[in-house]
Structure 1
Amino acid sequence: MASEYASMRIEGRTPRAPVRRIGAWKLAYADFLTALCALFIVLWLASGATSEERSNLAEQFGAKPVSDVVASQLSALDQAEATLRQSELLSAKTGNVSLTREVDGFRIELIDLDHTPLFETGEESLNERGLWLIDLASQAIIRLAQPISIEGHTDSQPVMRPGYSNWELSAGRANAARRALIATGVPAELIAGVTGLADTRPLRPGTGDLPQNRRLSIVVHIDERP
């Protein structure tokens, strides 16, 4: 690059040698060093920050929050599963609850165990523990805001009541769950169906007599269409 020169003359003295002006590239280099120093300062500050503080720092520089970026990359099923697994219904680890992912949703099983039953023997109404689990399920369902179906299941032990079978018992328990969900805040319009299936769908084939088959299934239907 050609250099520019100028002669400097001080009155009363002989002319001095030409003085070279500062080139434009030096100014650009100084700006670069300033920016580099700023970058190192930001990296040093970020190295000792928590993840939340780093996220806030990134937002100040115009970046999207990490949670927004991650959420945009998840499918509706993934987001629903994350919501369910973070809910108190699953995190309480009661032993009465299981979650299964299906093609178009999730199956939440509320299982009546011998040592922690959800119903009294042969009765349709939920006991105190059953109502507590329904309340926890309700909180998760409200957050999802997706349609659900409720299924009632029994074991293969016959009901010792004239004119009353496991079909009536399973349907009555499913309806009891429906009423309890609505009472704890689930909008009635989210409930797409209520079914009593008696002992026709054991948890595992050939184990219809096991107490674990006495359960309520809440099926969450997820629509992934845009």
Structure 2
Amino acid sequence: MAQSPTKRGKNEPEPRPIIIKKIIEEGHGGHHGGAWKVAYADFVTAMMAFFLLMWILGATTEKQRKGIADYFTPTMVQMREKSAGSNGLFGGESIVDKDNYPHRAAQTGSKSITIPKDASGGEKEGGSAIRNKDRVAFQKLKMMLQAKMAANPKLAQMMKNVRMVETREGLRIDLVDQADFAMFRSGTDQLSPEALSLMKQVAEVSNFTDNSVIVRGHTDAMPYSKGRTVNNWTLSAARAEATRRALADNGVANSRFARIEGVADREPYLPDDPYDPRNRRMSITLAWSGDNPGFAGAAPRGPVDLMAGSGANDPTAMPAEAMAQMAAAKKH
């Protein structure tokens, strides 16, 4: 039987309540905790990596550093030695130094030459001899252009913007934009004074042969704002025509021009970065002797080094004349 609470007297004060205070001591997790050790360990690791990098830069040669860089770019390793062009006549080399390429080691590929064949399927008689003759002439043109540019201090600074490479269509001379240099005024087909001087040298060198000439304009992938009638197709075609006029004004006969094309951004120099300014360029190709470059099916479209493994194997080039006809048809 439960005991009833003790009764207190009438004047007896009320008993004090019993208060139990429980204190839980915390560990040293506050500012005395171990979180700072993690941050300090990260800092020490970063400093170790930094000093290791400094040591490598000071203890290795340029060739060894390039090898280390290749190790960390495995997607480029397999064909790095043949990068930035084909392994043909010039192997993708700049007229000065391959380290000065505007698109350094961006393109890969191997050259494939289509040998003329007769009806029996054999090699066409004299075909190889003609090609070899062209190759000798192209090599001389390369040396001449190099000498002309080196003799002019202003043009010598633009040597890194010029690239010569053998393709399935012939000898292609690429005049490439960079962040600090543009062949044309932005959004127009007006050649800059420096570009006009460069075109003059290219025209003078080209006049030492009678090979047909193909001019192809390229742009980057930067789109125009909506509502404008111009686009990268019309701009690339207009710039190709402006290049043709510049070459013609400097002595290249009109009868030598086989095709004037604008391909917009369909054949980029840097497929991984279509907005890079180096994708803006003019390609001037001296066609192989004996070919019919005026017929679109006479030779595979585009250079070898841009086709291999870049996804640009089917460029939809549009000649300038065809684009003009389409524009006229839309107006009517």
Q: Same fold (TM over 0.5)?
A: yes
Question: Which residue of the partner structure matches residue 165 of structure 2?
Answer: 100
Residue segments in structure 2 that go unaligned for 5+ positions in a row: 1-128, 150-155, 292-332
Alpha carbons of 1:155 and 1:138: their partners in 2 closer, same or farther (altered >3 Å)?
same
Match of 2:166, SS? Answer: strand
Matched, 1:192 2:258: yes
Match of 1:99, SS? Answer: strand
Paired residues of 2:270 and 2:276 also in contact (CA < 8 A): no
Question: Which residue of the partner structure matches residue 142 of structure 1?
Answer: 207
Q: Once the two structures are superposed, what CA deviation does each residue of 1:9-30 show, in whole Å capped at 9, x if it has no partner?
A: xxxxxxxxxxxxxxxxxxxxxx
Question: Which residue, out of 231, 238, 250, partners 1:172?
Answer: 238
Identity of aligned residues (%): 29
2:273 and 2:256 map into 1 onto residues whose CA distance is: 32
> Displacement, 1:95?
1.3
> Displacement, 1:90?
7.0
Q: Once the two structures are superposed, what CA deviation does each residue of 1:8-61 show, in whole Å capped at 9, x if it has no partner?
A: xxxxxxxxxxxxxxxxxxxxxxxxxxxxxxxxxxxxxxxxxxxxxxxxxxxxxx
Question: Which residue of the partner structure matches residue 28 of structure 1?
Answer: none
> Displacement, 1:188?
0.4
Matched, 1:159 2:224: yes
Alpha carbons of 1:104 and 1:193: their partners in 2 closer, same or farther (altered >3 Å)?
closer
> Displacement, 1:186?
0.3
> Displacement, 1:105?
1.3
Question: Which residue, out of 174, 179, 182, partners 1:109?
Answer: 174
Return 188-197 or 159-168, whichever deviates more: 159-168
> Displacement, 1:80?
2.2
Question: Which residue of the partner structure matches residue 281 of structure 2?
Answer: 215
Match of 1:82, SS? Answer: helix
Residue segments in structure 1 that go unaligned for 5+ positions in a row: 1-71
Q: Return the letter of the residue paired with 2:141.
A: L
Match of 2:208, SS? Answer: helix
Question: Which residue of the partner structure matches residue 77 of structure 1?
Answer: 134
Show the 5 A alignment for 1:8-23: none
TM-score relative to the length of structure 1: 0.63
Moved over 6 A (4+): none
> Displacement, 1:110?
0.7
Paired residues of 1:122 and 1:159 also in contact (CA < 8 A): no
Question: Which residue of the partner structure matches residue 181 of structure 1?
Answer: 247
Q: Number of residue pairs matched? A: 154
TM-score relative to the length of structure 2: 0.43
CA RMSD in angstroms comes to 2.3
Q: Return the letter of the residue paired with 2:242.
A: A
Match of 2:206, SS? Answer: helix
Q: Relative to total residues, which structure has the larger strand share, 1 or 2?
A: 1
